[in-house]
Amino acid sequence: MEHSESKPLEQELSRLIVQTLKLKIDPATIQPDAALFGDGLGLDSIDALELSLAISQTYGYQLKSSDPDIKAIFSSLRALANAIVKNRTK
Amino acid sequence: MHDTPLIGPYSPDDVLALEPDGSRTARQFVSDVVRLAESLPNRLTVINLATSRYEFLVGFAAAILRRQLTLLPQSRAVQTLRRIAGDYPESYALTDRDDAIDGIESVAMQQRQGLAPWPNEIPLVPLNQVVAIAFTSGSTGQPMPNKKTWGALTAVAHATGSRLGIKSGDRASVVATVPHQHMFGLEASVMLPIMHGLVMHAGRPLFPADILSALADVEGRRILVTTPLHLRACMTEGVRMPPVGLILSATAPLSQGLAQEAERHFHTEVHEIFGFAEAGSVAERQTTAGDSWRPLDGVRLQSSERGWTVETDYLPAPVLVPDRITVDAQGLFVVHGREADQINVAGHRVSLGDLNQKLLEVEGVQDGVFFLPEEGSDFVTRLMAFVVAPGKTSEEIQRALRTHIDPVFLPRPLVCVPSLPRNATGKLPQESVRELARQWLAGLGHGT
């Protein structure tokens, strides 16, 4: 159920990432399983903070570093989209 | 030159730091430092990569007792660390997690068992001992070392504390969002608390929800050491924060608007620190009270042929202020902007000319220029770059750049263009680049 919902959300989220962080890439080229930080898109902690604000405003989900799954959540577009499905309040 | 104690007024059982698993007393701290100092390798320099602010402090203090210099890299980027380790071949890395850096000897800080007895006297450190080196981007692009003596770090901590009305032993707690390896972080989140007998929160909260829980963790008067970026994030989220006694911000100028909002939101005063790696913190202001900066006690501004310099008893020579300032009759000053070529991203200063040079060195790049769009949103403004590189993609150039420049300066976006608007003499007027950026940003969001 979650999985089938996350597909359009992945696309929506990749657009949000590209817009929020002003990346010069086509949102459709972000691979759902590729790393967002480090070697993947090369995002850093300032990006994480800006992205977290956009996610909070769009989906009403406040990210926390103390979440034991935080590394997994930020590991890829798919993982982030799944976390939003589970935690969104709007 | 005399010697001063490693920590300020703590009784043995006073809490010095707060880790996720509980508190660390001054007794525990001194024991941890003595134990670690015994086990450090016999080297001259150490790159302290500890993620916990407390473990960083233990490593820093142990290195001081062993007369080792702590190197403070501008970032944790592997390339940066390797370059510094190459420049200081007597280095090793000190880590508190399983994050050894390939090619650099790493020493993991072990859980220390038991307690060494409280010494008759807190270890003393000579004021003229060089204890740290902070790196800045030099004009050649090579990291420039700035030596920090124990006397400089303690003098800044005391001057900052007295300016902010922090009393020794008032047991306030410091929560900081800034990295402890950054000069301002070292001064305000490490040296300031330990010289005044305060409690240091060991974490480095990032998201507003993290800042909230870190503030909730600590007792007594709360001091939040942070940046405009984190303050803006807290305002945007609108998280209700526990009462804060004082906010100290640095690394980028805070706008009047955000400062007013933050003072209302946190029911407290927001003070800013002005400083730079070469001199450390040099002045303070309450942002809502006006634009003028008041030099910290002991800091003298002098006019010289090269521009304004900072002089203090603890700096070996006058240091040039990297910004354009005007100084009034009372010695207060206003900052008008950076010297032409200097830019600052998230508290890291660099020369645009150097970045452009690095860009042109990338294989396949025929022409290129970095540009910093207008600032002022209290968010970190990233650099953009326009590049002429036929046959290369933006991603390829980014990847090549990533190994040569600090990640914080990587352009967002890097736009490939057929040519740059150079004028007849081959110069690239700033206004033309600004217009290029304006056009590109206006088109953003309407497809890529």
Q: How far is A44 from chain B (nearest CA, A)?
A: 8
Number of domains in chain B: 2
- The structure tokens 């807190």 sit at B122
Q: Do B444 and A44 touch (CB under 8 A)?
A: no
B414 vs B39, B169, B345, B437, CA distance in Å? 47, 51, 16, 11
- In terms of residue numbers, what domain contains A52? 2-87
Q: How far apart are CA B244 and CA B426, in angstroms?
A: 55
- The structure tokens 């007027």 sit at B429
Task: Kindly give the pairing relationship between strand B384-388 and strand B22-25.
Answer: unpaired
Q: What's the pLDDT at A68?
A: 83
Q: What's the pLDDT at A83?
A: 94
CATH number of the domain that B389 lies in?
3.30.300.30
Domain boundary among B288, B305, B338: B338
- 3-state SS, residue B249: strand
- In terms of residue numbers, what domain contains B365? 342-443
Are residue B56 and residue B203 in the same domain, yes or no? yes
- 3-state SS, residue B35: helix
Domain boundary among B294, B320, B338: B338
CATH number of the domain that A6 lies in?
1.10.1200.10
Cβ-in-10-Å burial (0-12, 13-18, 19+) of B389 comes to buried
Q: Scanning every residue of chain A, which has its alpha carbon at the shortest distance from the alpha carbon of B445?
A: A19
A20 — pLDDT class (breaks 50, 70, 90): confident
Are residue B141 and residue B283 in the same domain, yes or no? yes
- What single letter denotes the amino acid at residue B412? R
Number of H helices, E strands in chain A: 4, 0
Asked if the structure places residue B448 within a domain, the reply is no
Are residue B431 and residue B304 in the same domain, yes or no? no
Q: What's the pLDDT at B376?
A: 59
Q: How far apart are CA A54 and CA A43, in angstroms?
A: 15
Are residue B316 and residue B367 in the same domain, yes or no? no
Q: How far is B37 from chain A (nearest CA, A)?
A: 31
Residue B417, CB-side half-sphere exposure with 13 Å CA sphere: 20
Q: How far apart are CA B396 and CA B26, in angstroms?
A: 51
Q: Scanning every residue of chain A, which has its alpha carbon at the shortest distance from the alpha carbon of B209?
A: A64
Q: Do A42 and B407 touch (CB under 8 A)?
A: yes
Range A71-77 average pLDDT: 89
Q: Which two tokens stand for residue B412?
A: 């967002």
Are residue B304 and residue B374 in the same domain, yes or no? no
- The structure tokens 């933006």 sit at B394
A87 chain-B contacts, CB cut-off 8 A: none
Cβ atoms of B3 and B150 closer than 8 Å = no
Q: Does B7 touch chain A (CB under 8 A)?
A: no
Cβ atoms of B154 and B66 closer than 8 Å = no
Number of domains in chain A: 1
Asked if the structure places residue B47 within a domain, the reply is yes
Q: Is pLDDT at A66 greater than 90 in this prediction?
A: no
Q: Which two tokens stand for residue B164?
A: 């902010």
Q: Scanning every residue of chain B, which has its alpha carbon at the shortest distance from the alpha carbon of A16?
A: B445
ipTM of the assembly? 0.83
Q: What's the pLDDT at B138?
A: 54
Q: Which two tokens stand for residue B70?
A: 């702590």
CA angle in degrees (0–180, nearest 5) for B196-B199-B203: 130
Asked if the structure places residue B196 within a domain, the reply is yes
Q: How far apart are CA B55 and CA B391, in angstroms?
A: 48
Are residue B376 and residue B328 in the same domain, yes or no? no
A64 chain-B contacts, CB cut-off 8 A: 207, 209-210, 213
Are residue B334 and residue B346 in the same domain, yes or no? no
Q: Which two tokens stand for residue B39?
A: 């086990």
Q: What's the pLDDT at B404?
A: 78
Q: Does A66 touch chain B (CB under 8 A)?
A: yes
Asked if the structure places residue B379 within a domain, the reply is yes
Q: Do A22 and B410 touch (CB under 8 A)?
A: no
Cβ-in-10-Å burial (0-12, 13-18, 19+) of B357 comes to middle
Cβ atoms of B267 and B285 closer than 8 Å = no
Q: How far is B150 from chain A (nearest CA, A)?
A: 31
A1 — pLDDT class (breaks 50, 70, 90): very low
Alpha carbon of residue B115 to chain centroid: 33
- The structure tokens 């110069």 sit at B427
Cβ atoms of B295 and B301 closer than 8 Å = yes
Are residue B311 and residue B382 in the same domain, yes or no? no
pLDDT tens for chain B, 448 residues long, are 689 999 999 999 999 999 999 999 999 999 999 999 999 999 999 999 999 999 999 999 999 999 999 999 877 777 778 888 999 999 999 999 867 778 889 999 877 777 888 888 899 999 999 999 998 765 445 678 999 999 999 999 999 999 999 988 788 999 999 999 989 999 999 999 999 999 999 999 999 999 999 999 998 899 999 998 899 899 988 888 899 999 999 987 888 889 999 999 999 999 999 998 899 999 999 999 999 999 999 999 999 988 899 999 999 999 999 888 999 999 999 988 766 677 888 778 788 888 888 888 888 998 899 998 876 566 778 899 999 999 999 888 988 888 778 888 888 889 999 888 887 777 787 788 888 888 887 776 443 3
Length of chain B, please? 448
Cβ atoms of B101 and B93 closer than 8 Å = yes
Terminal alpha carbon distance of chain A:
18
Asked if the structure places residue B95 within a domain, the reply is yes
Asked if the structure places residue B169 within a domain, the reply is yes
Task: Kindly give the pairing relationship between strand B294-295 and strand B280-286.
Answer: antiparallel
Are residue B256 and residue B369 in the same domain, yes or no? no
Query: How many beta carbons lie within 10 A of that of residue B250, not counting itself?
Result: 25
Q: What's the pLDDT at B92?
A: 95
A32 vs A27, A75, B162, B298, CA distance in Å? 11, 10, 53, 56
Q: How far is B127 from chain A (nearest CA, A)?
A: 36
B428 vs A88, B52, B337, B367, CA distance in Å? 48, 46, 21, 11
- The DSSP secondary-structure symbol of B253 reads P
Q: What's the pLDDT at B275?
A: 93
Q: How far apart are CA B76 and CA B56, in angstroms?
A: 14
Q: How far apart are CA B270 and CA B234, in angstroms?
A: 14
Are residue B302 and residue B372 in the same domain, yes or no? no
- 3-state SS, residue B186: helix
